[in-house]
Amino acid sequence: MENKGSILMQRYEIGRLLGQGTFGKVYHARNLGTGQSVAIKMIDKEKVFKVGMIDQIKREISVMRLVKHPNVVQLYEVMASKTKIYFVMEYAKGGELFNKVAKGKLKEDVARKYFQQLISAVDFCHSRGVYHRDLKPENLLLDENGNLKVSDFGLSALAESKQQDGLLHTTCGTPAYVAPEVISRKGYDGAKADIWSCGVVLFVLMSGYLPFQDSNLMEMYRKIGKAEFKCPNWFPFEVRRLVSKILDPNPSTRISIEKIMENSWFKKGFDAKLVKSETETTEIVPMDFDSVFGSSDNGIAESKAELVNCTNLNAFDIISLSEGFDLSNLFEENDHKREARFTSKQPASVIISKIEDIAKRLRLKVKKKDGGVMKLEASKEGRKGVLSIDAEIFEVTPSFHLVEMKKSSGDTLEYQKLWKQDVRPALADIVWAWQGKQQ
């Protein structure tokens, strides 16, 4: 059913491939009955069962059915065959907003229109108890009329996900757009975190670059934590003031969406009543997930011991972690020769032990730092000082991690030799997949 021109479920004619990941592909398609263009996400059941993504996909479906707004990509229906799950969604002909920003800053009126539509959509999501948690230009699509559509609810959290303290505790999102309180891993308000991300998006639309950027991830985290950024001189005063209120590192004093919508710069040309009249309020009928996923006797291996509770990563985009964490398109500098990323299905304790074993064999000293960072240092000084390697571990689930290893000091040639001949081969038994093209 994945060949161009083939017919799916006697309802959709499959068109060109729009994108793909580890768990499936997205195609442009045409509804045979209405002629309407749609996007169909085809997910491989067996693959998502193996890595325990079923609950994740169920949540994504639930969220998309719950949120119906003119500036949110609509989920039309979900179908399934014995081996695949099909998301039939609204087709955004204009592609990603990121593609427009990649060419440079937008005109003030254009940036404001997109920001108004983003805030309107996010405000509606929050009113339904849904927090997106990964708002960025790559997840903001444009329709044929140039209207913004929020997409990709794979990282979204429902209000029920909050713990007893009323906060969310899952670290997720794309680093450059993530709020300080999310990085600190001390719990956070999903609405406040989304507002921060909207502020970063506004800055990017108006400037053409990120407010927080550094080729070193930990240095970027430091800048985010202190809200260390500078608005370019072409920002109007009222935009500077609004951005500073949104990018407030203290979530308790950060501006609310209600106050953003009362801002004079924001309100210019914005018709809240028109948006409200276009918002659907139809009752959502509970979905029979068994009809989509089947049960454990459907021929798909579903060993409970192998399943992990993956609640903070988009099931379809897991292979694209390299895109999510590699911000080279917006960074001014990025030395691909010095860093490498891989995903692992091993617990953090196993990954740490493996890195420590490698360090011991190579006679490297290990220094542990806060936040899942390990520093490996050579015992002797080389041509350009002491060779030092940082290894940072990001938890996706307790048994699924993203690991970034990067030279932080010393001679690059010495590092490359050590990496290719010793470190990389020794990591082979804990690596699930290497991320990016630099490997």
Question: What is the tens place of the pLDDT at every residue in 215-264?
Answer: 777 788 889 999 999 999 999 999 999 999 999 999 999 999 999 999 99
Q: What is the mean pLDDT of residues 316-341?
A: 40
Q: What is the mean pLDDT of residues 337-350?
A: 77
- Cβ–Cβ < 8 Å for 321, 341: yes
Share of the chain above pLDDT 70, in %: 72
- 3-class secondary-structure state, position 203: helix
For domain 95-278, the CATH architecture is Orthogonal Bundle (1.10)
- Cβ–Cβ < 8 Å for 270, 148: no
pLDDT band at residue 329 using 50, 70 and 90 as cut-offs: very low
Q: Which long-range contacts (CB under 8 A, 24 or more apart) does 407-413 make?
A: 407/338, 407/339, 408/216, 408/375, 409/385, 410/378, 410/382, 410/384, 410/385, 410/386, 411/382, 411/383, 411/384, 411/385, 411/387, 412/337, 412/338
Can you give the pLDDT at residue 202?
A: 97
Q: What is the mean pLDDT of residues 146-162?
A: 62
More confident residue, 211 or 49: 211
Q: Is the pLDDT of residue 162 over 60?
A: no
77 DSSP β-pair partners: 88
**How many C-beta neighbours within 10 Å does residue 289 have?**
16
Q: What is the mean pLDDT of residues 25-35?
A: 92
48 DSSP β-pair partners: none
- For 7-91, which CATH superfamily applies? Phosphorylase Kinase; domain 1 (3.30.200.20)
Can you give the pLDDT at residue 383?
A: 74
Q: What is the pLDDT of residues 168-212, one digit of tens each?
A: 334 344 678 888 888 776 677 888 999 999 999 999 999 999 999
- 3-class secondary-structure state, position 305: coil
Can you give the pLDDT at residue 168?
A: 39
- Cβ–Cβ < 8 Å for 21, 45: no
Q: Do domains 7-91 and 95-278 have the same CATH topology?
A: no
pLDDT band at residue 116 using 50, 70 and 90 as cut-offs: very high
Q: Is the pLDDT of residue 9 over 60?
A: yes
Tokens of 112: 């404001």
Q: What is the pLDDT of residues 374-431, one digit of tens each?
A: 889 987 777 778 899 988 887 655 566 778 888 888 888 888 889 999 999 999 998 8
Can you give the pLDDT at residue 370?
A: 57
Comparing 111-115, 330-334, 397-401, 434-438, the range with the smallest average pLDDT is: 330-334
Residue 209 vs residues 131, 174, 214, 329, 382: alpha-carbon distances, Å:
25, 15, 12, 9, 36
Q: What residue spans define the domains of the chain?
A: 7-91, 95-278, 335-435
Q: Is the pLDDT of residue 336 over 50?
A: no
Q: Is residue 390 annotated as a catalytic residue, yes or no?
A: no
Can you give the pLDDT at residue 249?
A: 93
Tokens of 96: 């990603």
Can you give the pLDDT at residue 233?
A: 95
Catalytic residue selected from 123, 134, 317, 326 = 134
Can you give the pLDDT at residue 70?
A: 92
Can you give the pLDDT at residue 396?
A: 57
Q: Is the pLDDT of residue 314 over 60?
A: no
Can you give the pLDDT at residue 60?
A: 66
- Cβ–Cβ < 8 Å for 324, 341: no
- Cβ–Cβ < 8 Å for 382, 427: no
Can you give the pLDDT at residue 235?
A: 96
Can you give the pLDDT at residue 173?
A: 44
**How many C-beta neighbours within 10 Å does residue 262 have?**
11
Can you give the pLDDT at residue 73?
A: 87
More confident residue, 63 or 297: 63
Q: What is the mean pLDDT of residues 351-372?
A: 83
Question: In CATH, which of 3.30.310.80, 1.10.260.40, 3.30.43.10, 3.40.30.10 is domain 335-435?
Answer: 3.30.310.80
Highest mean pLDDT among 47-56, 140-149, 280-289, 365-374: 140-149
Cα–Cα–Cα angle for 144, 148, 154, rounded to 5 degrees? 115
Q: Is the pLDDT of residue 141 over 80?
A: yes
**How many C-beta neighbours within 10 Å does residue 368 have?**
10
